[in-house]
């Protein structure tokens, strides 16, 4: 079974019939916005078993060209889709859900079939790879199932693959084997094609970027010309002692050789939590590869805040899904770019209990969307069309309203930025209510950050600590940082709303928040044996586990080196300080 997404004459007729649906971003079907249950997709006659896994279909609209991107995410050895990649009740796994919502992308998280190398790895190290059999074949079949199903509205020009370790190596295999399918790859600690499982710890003598590039082009076969529009992101860590760090820059250099032409190395840009990114631009001024070095991370997927923080996933480092999606979307060379429409004006007027909204935009506008927030809200995705519109909404309850208008192009499906309608009043002004949602955010040894929801009709706010007002002048935002506090101390907070003429509402319900104890996080890098001896970790069955977090650092000996961060008294995590 060979998989291509070329348009046949029959498909062309079908697409022409569907053109109005395809062009209108607002009509792309919304998904459930949740990870699916475990799926069974196809049998693997080579490695054994059936391909299982999960997919995420967002409820949000697609971000590019009115159709959804599709991302194939491949776990590493000793990992599973359910245990490490997708969201769980305790963490966000690899942390793909947030960016899937942001870009309106569908995410696939399959499990490696069989039990390769005794650790459920992908078959990247095979001497031959096929588009129809083995892991490559069943993964391409999986891609085809989603691309060919119109309910997902997948754009064949926005298909990507990323993975860690064995999954990173398989990512490179997939990108090389099927450059016509994958517009971009994200290789994390992945040995290149032609390397054996016994050579992951060091680059073999005589193996170079040119070797990897030749192997990659041989995999592509007749699809080699498709490399002209593929991009590659590569990421590796400075404390990875499982897969040789040298494979990172080698992978990136190999892909540039495959892509052809000359390249300009860009300036290194710092990435959050430590590390740098170096872009390489081709002769046409297009960014084709990205090289990220993550400082202080071991062999792991950098998930960023909220991700899993164990079993080769690191939540204390850069959010790689967010970075690589931004890289892919900004640098995709296959999707025709079109400017979104622009709202030129919007307004609202009131007569009795009727609100009349007006708007105008540039471009070929297929629909306007009106959103009004207030006592009787409005969410109207079909408010009008054309160069301008006027629509009346009757029977609105008294109170304060605000809202926005957006326009969607009938041809491209792109949506404009929102035109904001400021707060206005229908009928009599209601009694000023205290703000809801008071919550404490970031806390230090001497400060506590507070936030709350906007109160209808409010022009400002007062904050009270232990019953005493702390702000000298009215606070005009919905947040405040109370500073100059004592360490390790609890405080009670309330907030009130201010209206026109100096009217003040009752105070909100109180919350209690405490400052931290002032503990300063420090890091120590040494052998696992030294960590255990010094009391930063403990031995369990021959493995070193970080005290407090119990994160597995590897074997308890002098050959394994780890960086531990002490985040509180007696509590250590693998990696740098948060």
Spatial separation of the C-alpha atoms in residues 529 and 37, rounded to whole Å: 42
**pLDDT score for 27:** 62
User: Is residue 53 domain-shared with residue 177, that is, in the same domain?
Assistant: yes
CA distances from 77 to 48, 113, 191, 322, 507 (A): 17, 12, 13, 23, 55
User: Is residue 446 domain-shared with residue 568, that is, in the same domain?
Assistant: no
Burial class (CB within 10 angstroms; exposed 0-12, middle 13-18, buried 19+) of 506: exposed
Residue 175: inside a domain, yes or no? yes
User: Is residue 422 domain-shared with residue 500, that is, in the same domain?
Assistant: no
| Domain extent for 538 | 522-574
**pLDDT score for 118:** 84
CA distances from 225 to 179, 216, 217, 220, 288 (A): 8, 12, 10, 9, 15
Average pLDDT for runs of 10 along the chain of length 578: 36 34 56 96 93 97 92 97 96 97 97 91 95 96 97 97 98 98 98 95 95 97 97 97 96 97 94 94 95 96 96 96 96 88 96 97 94 92 96 93 92 86 87 93 93 93 93 95 92 93 88 88 92 92 90 88 88 89
User: Is residue 374 domain-shared with residue 508, that is, in the same domain?
Assistant: no
Residue 274: inside a domain, yes or no? no
| CATH code of the domain containing 467 | 2.60.40.10
**pLDDT score for 26:** 42
User: Is residue 71 domain-shared with residue 90, that is, in the same domain?
Assistant: yes
From 374, 405, 426, give the residue that closes a domain.
426
User: Is residue 391 domain-shared with residue 497, that is, in the same domain?
Assistant: no
User: Is residue 536 domain-shared with residue 510, that is, in the same domain?
Assistant: no
| CATH code of the domain containing 44 | 3.40.50.1820
Whether the Cβ atoms of residue 236 and residue 189 lie closer than 8 Å to each other: yes
Whether the Cβ atoms of residue 160 and residue 99 lie closer than 8 Å to each other: no
Token output for 63: 């971000």
Residue 272: inside a domain, yes or no? no
**pLDDT score for 225:** 97
From 465, 490, 514, give the residue that closes a domain.
514
From 514, 532, 562, give the residue that closes a domain.
514
301 φ, ψ to 5°? -90, 120
Burial class (CB within 10 angstroms; exposed 0-12, middle 13-18, buried 19+) of 327: buried
Residue 556 DSSP symbol: S
Residue 392: inside a domain, yes or no? yes
CA distances from 208 to 127, 139, 187, 203, 243 (A): 18, 28, 17, 8, 16
Residue 473 burial (CB count, 10 A): 7
How do strand 543-546 and strand 537-540 relate by DSSP bridges?
antiparallel
Spatial separation of the C-alpha atoms in residues 52 and 138, rounded to whole Å: 10
Whether the Cβ atoms of residue 370 and residue 403 lie closer than 8 Å to each other: yes
Task: Please identify every residue annotated as catalytic.
Answer: 165
Give the count of domains, the chain: 4
Residue 290: inside a domain, yes or no? no
CA distances from 37 to 52, 55, 135, 266, 359 (A): 10, 8, 22, 43, 43
Residue 85 DSSP symbol: I
**pLDDT score for 166:** 97
**pLDDT score for 559:** 84
Residue 366's nearest CA partner among 12, 24, 4 is 24
Residue 10: inside a domain, yes or no? no
Residue 497: inside a domain, yes or no? yes
User: Is residue 186 domain-shared with residue 326, that is, in the same domain?
Assistant: yes
User: Is residue 492 domain-shared with residue 366, that is, in the same domain?
Assistant: no
Spatial separation of the C-alpha atoms in residues 161 and 185, rounded to whole Å: 5
User: Is residue 202 domain-shared with residue 58, that is, in the same domain?
Assistant: yes
Spatial separation of the C-alpha atoms in residues 383 and 389, rounded to whole Å: 7
**pLDDT score for 14:** 33
Residue 267: inside a domain, yes or no? no
User: Is residue 66 domain-shared with residue 132, that is, in the same domain?
Assistant: yes
User: Is residue 455 domain-shared with residue 378, that is, in the same domain?
Assistant: no
């Amino acid at each position: 079974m060979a998989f291509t997404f070329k348009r046949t004459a029959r498909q062309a007729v079908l697409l022409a019939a569907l053109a109005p649906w395809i062009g209108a971003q607002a009509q792309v079907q919304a998904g459930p916005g949740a990870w699916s249950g475990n799926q069974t997709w196809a049998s693997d006659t080579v490695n054994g078993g059936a391909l299982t896994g999960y997919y995420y279909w967002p409820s949000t609209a697609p971000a590019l060209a009115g159709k959804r991107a599709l991302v194939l995410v491949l776990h590493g050895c000793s990992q599973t889709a359910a245990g490490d990649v997708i969201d769980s009740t305790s963490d966000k796994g690899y942390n793909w859900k947030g960016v899937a919502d942001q870009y309106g992308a569908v995410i696939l998280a399959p499990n490696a079939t069989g039990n390769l190398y005794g650790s459920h790895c992908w078959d990247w190290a095979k001497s031959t790879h096929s588009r129809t059999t083995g892991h490559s074949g069943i993964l391409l079949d999986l891609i085809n199932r989603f691309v060919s199903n119109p309910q997902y509205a997948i754009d064949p020009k926005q298909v990507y693959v990323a993975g860690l370790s064995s999954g990173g190596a398989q990512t490179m295999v997939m990108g090389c084997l099927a450059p016509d399918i994958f517009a971009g790859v994200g290789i994390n600690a992945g040995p290149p094609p032609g390397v054996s499982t016994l050579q992951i710890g060091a680059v073999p003598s005589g193996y170079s970027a040119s070797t990897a590039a030749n192997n990659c082009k041989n995999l592509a076969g007749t699809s080699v010309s498709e490399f002209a529009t593929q991009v590659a992101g590569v990421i590796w860590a400075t404390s990875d002692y499982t897969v040789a760090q040298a494979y990172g820059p080698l992978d990136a250099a190999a892909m540039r050789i495959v892509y052809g032409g000359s390249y300009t190395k860009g300036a290194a840009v710092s990435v959050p939590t430590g590390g740098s990114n170096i872009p390489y631009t081709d002769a046409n001024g297009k960014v084709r590869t990205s090289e990220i070095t993550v400082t202080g991370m071991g062999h792991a997927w950098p998930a960023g805040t909220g991700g899993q923080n164990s079993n080769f996933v690191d939540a204390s480092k850069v959010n790689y899904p967010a970075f690589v999606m931004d890289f892919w979307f900004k640098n995709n060379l296959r999707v025709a770019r079109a400017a979104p429409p622009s709202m030129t004006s919007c307004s609202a007027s009131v007569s009795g209990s009727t609100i009349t909204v007006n708007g105008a935009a540039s471009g070929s506008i297929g629909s306007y969307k009106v959103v009004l927030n207030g006592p009787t809200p409005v969410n109207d995705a079909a408010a009008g069309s054309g160069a301008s519109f006027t629509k009346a909404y009757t029977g609105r309850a008294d109170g304060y309203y605000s809202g926005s208008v957006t326009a969607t192009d009938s041809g491209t499906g792109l949506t404009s930025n929102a035109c904001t309608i400021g707060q206005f009043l229908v009928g009599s002004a209601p009694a000023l209510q205290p703000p809801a949602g008071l919550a404490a955010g970031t806390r230090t040894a001497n400060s506590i950050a507070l936030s709350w929801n906007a109160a209808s009709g409010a022009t400002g706010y007062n904050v009270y600590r232990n019953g005493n007002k702390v702000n000298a002048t009215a606070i005009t935002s919905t947040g405040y940082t109370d500073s100059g506090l004592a360490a390790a101390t609890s405080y009670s907070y309330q907030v009130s709303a201010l209206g026109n003429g100096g009217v003040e509402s009752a105070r909100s319900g109180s919350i209690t928040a405490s400052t931290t104890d002032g503990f300063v996080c420090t890091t120590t890098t040494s052998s696992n044996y030294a960590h255990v001896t010094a009391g930063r970790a403990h031995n369990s069955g021959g493995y070193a586990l970080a005290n407090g977090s119990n994160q597995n650092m590897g074997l308890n000996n002098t050959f394994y080196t780890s960086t531990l961060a002490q985040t509180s008294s007696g509590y250590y995590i693998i990696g740098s300080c948060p």
